Amino acid sequence: MTETIKRNLLLPLLLLYAVGLFAQVKNQQTRVWTPDNGNGTFTNPLMWGDWPDPDIIRVGDEFYFISTSMHYVPGCPIAKSKDLVNWEMAGYAVSRYDEDPRYDMKGGNMYLNGSWASTLRYHDGTFYAGFCTPKGLAGKEGNFSICTAKDVGGPWTRTIFKEYLYDPGLFFDDDGKVYVAHGQQKLYITQLSNDAKSVKVPQKEIYNNADYPYLEGSHLYKVNGKYYLLGSTGGTTGRQVCLRSDNIYGPYESKVIINDDHTYPGNGLHQGGMVQLKNGTWWFIIMQDRGPIGRTPNLEPVTWVDGWPMLGENGKGVDTFKKPDAGGIYPIAAPATSDEFNSPKLGLQWQWNHNPDSKKWSLKERKGYLRLKANKAKNLADARNTLTQRVQGPYSEGTVEMRVNGMKDGDVGGFGVFQFPYAFVSVQQKGAKRTLVMINNDTTITTVNFTGNTVWLKACVTQVGFSASFAYSTDGKNFKPIGNELKMGLGLDWTANRFALFNYHTNKVGASGYVDFNWFHYTNIEPAKSSANISPDI
């Protein structure tokens, strides 16, 4: 047999082997939703989880996306991308909130405070992230903050203003002047100092139109000499509006640039920001409420019609569409989920419920484990050092391995789904006795005797009926359902449900112990089903 014939016969076999090997590897790694279809197109949403109030910028070849996160710490998550479709975490603009002891759960709590409606800009080598905090300080209306950093990964420096600028949109004009567009229905422009760390000219009203109720989420741009202020009206069921003027202080004319809810009927595409690519095209990232799963970001093309940036295609948000031409082909990526807790630093996928107590958690005391030491609390809502990350649609499943040999009388350590209401499975220790307990909305549903030192806990979330179910294992292989379903809600407005790892102590006196989490594993593959849109668990 000639070498040519051998090569001709061998090549197809090698290709088949390579394809099979790739499929096998991909099948082992596919665990996270991605919009990238692998064929030059994408399918919305960009991230099927809670990334509300998006704003976006481009710095060179990199895109940066900022979101808000209310009372979760660190705050103001920032993601990065090369192509607007594949994203990974880059950092946070706020490491913690020090302006009120209630962020430490001392004297109360700060649920639904923290960061609202973040804005992100880059100017002269510096990143600027801004946000507002409604009623952030006792007895006051709220405040506005600007955070600055030379690197998006930090460190960031925060300046808290005495002024309250609601839903701010930071803007650097061509002449070096710095402005913030803000307000709700009645919109204002406030001029900042050149370093954006104080107010130079107090707010001036620029627009008030009763036809646009709750017009908010302002982001300001200048294109071809005209000022464009983009905002959302009508809240969850709303639409996106564009205001346009030759002068930053107006007068402004207006146009609805998208009014569509076809991808999630009843919940319109509303609030977000736009960005121009190197090739001159414009794209818009806009959110859509999807109930207890969260406010998900969608990517929409922008078509300029008579000087107006119209979103989507033929007045509708796109479902599957050609990817932006970002100058290259980039690998599929997704924000991290699973964690082996092998790093000395906490992964960027995690946020604490309120400020953590640094003395009560560690990644170093037991190598390869997250140790949570119990704080005193009456229930999970009152517990510090609850570690969370987003649940995701259309299905998501989180599993943990938890070691409990360090627990003491009164400790409650476990894993669940957190919002109001919440539900979880925990190991509770009373004296020397341990039990597995499923709690739903602060009500004990099921109790199981438990004598081991290691337990595996699982929470499964689906957008079908917005429910969560729970299971446990004593061998790490065979899981048994426990308790009943959580009907996920939004008792904490505008904040989605989250997976939660925790350990708290219910006794008024006495020493508290600890639990060790060996890992957290995530998948979006529903049992006995498969998904066409899945990516490696980064």
pTM: 0.92
Region 259-275: what's the mean pLDDT? 95
Sequence-distant (6+) residues with CB within 8 A of 262 are: 316, 317
**Active-site residue, 53 included:** yes
Beta strands in 162-290 (DSSP E): 169-172, 178-184, 186-192, 199-208, 216-223, 226-233, 239-245, 253-258, 270-276, 282-289
Q: What is the per-residue pLDDT across 281-337, written as a single tens digit (0 to 9) for each?
A: 999 999 999 999 999 999 999 999 999 999 999 999 999 999 999 999 999 999 999
Residue with tokens 């909305």: 441
Q: What percent of the chain has pLDDT over 90?
A: 88
Q: What is the per-residue pLDDT across 324-379, written as a single tens digit (0 to 9) for each?
A: 999 999 999 999 999 999 999 999 999 999 999 999 999 999 999 999 999 999 99
Residue 2 has pLDDT above 70, yes or no: no
Q: What is the pLDDT of residue 139?
A: 53
Residue 380 has pLDDT above 50, yes or no: yes
Residue 435 has pLDDT above 90, yes or no: yes
Residue 191 has pLDDT above 70, yes or no: yes
- DSSP annotation string for 359-380: GGEESTTTTTSEEEEPEE-SSG
DSSP 108: S
Dihedral sign from CA coordinates of 215, 94, 504, 484: positive
36, 167, 216, 260: the active-site residue? 216
50, 53, 261, 289: the active-site residue? 53
Region 497-501: what's the mean pLDDT? 98
Domains of the chain: 49-322 (2.115.10.20), 351-536 (2.60.120.200)
pLDDT class for 519, splitting at 50, 70, 90? very high
Residue 22 token pair: 């790739």
Neighbours of 20 (CB within 10 A): 10
Instruction: Give me the chain's average pLDDT, please.
Output: 92
Q: What is the pLDDT of residue 529?
A: 62
Strands 308-311 and 295-305: antiparallel
Calpha distance 371→150 (Å, rounded): 33
Residue 6 has pLDDT above 80, yes or no: no
Region 30-49: what's the mean pLDDT? 93
Using H for helix, E for strand and C for coil, what is the string for 417-477? EECCCCEEEEEEEECCEEEEEEEECCEEEEEEEECCCEEEEEEEEECCCCEEEEEEECCCC
Region 251-263: what's the mean pLDDT? 97
Q: What is the per-residue pLDDT across 85-129, written as a single tens digit (0 to 9) for each?
A: 999 999 999 999 999 999 999 999 999 999 999 999 999 999 999
Q: What is the pLDDT of residue 509?
A: 81
Calpha distance 253→244 (Å, rounded): 5
Q: What is the per-residue pLDDT across 128-176, written as a single tens digit (0 to 9) for each?
A: 999 999 875 555 678 999 999 999 999 999 999 999 999 999 999 999 9
Residue 80 has pLDDT above 60, yes or no: yes
Residue 163 token pair: 């002024």
Residue 512 has pLDDT above 90, yes or no: no
pLDDT class for 7, splitting at 50, 70, 90? very low
Identify which of 200, 240, 195, 202 has the alpha carbon closest to the alpha carbon of residue 218.
240
**Active-site residue, 141 included:** no
Residue 1 has pLDDT above 70, yes or no: no
Cβ atoms of 305 and 39 within 8 Å: the answer is no
Residue with tokens 């710490």: 73
Sequence-distant (6+) residues with CB within 8 A of 358 are: none
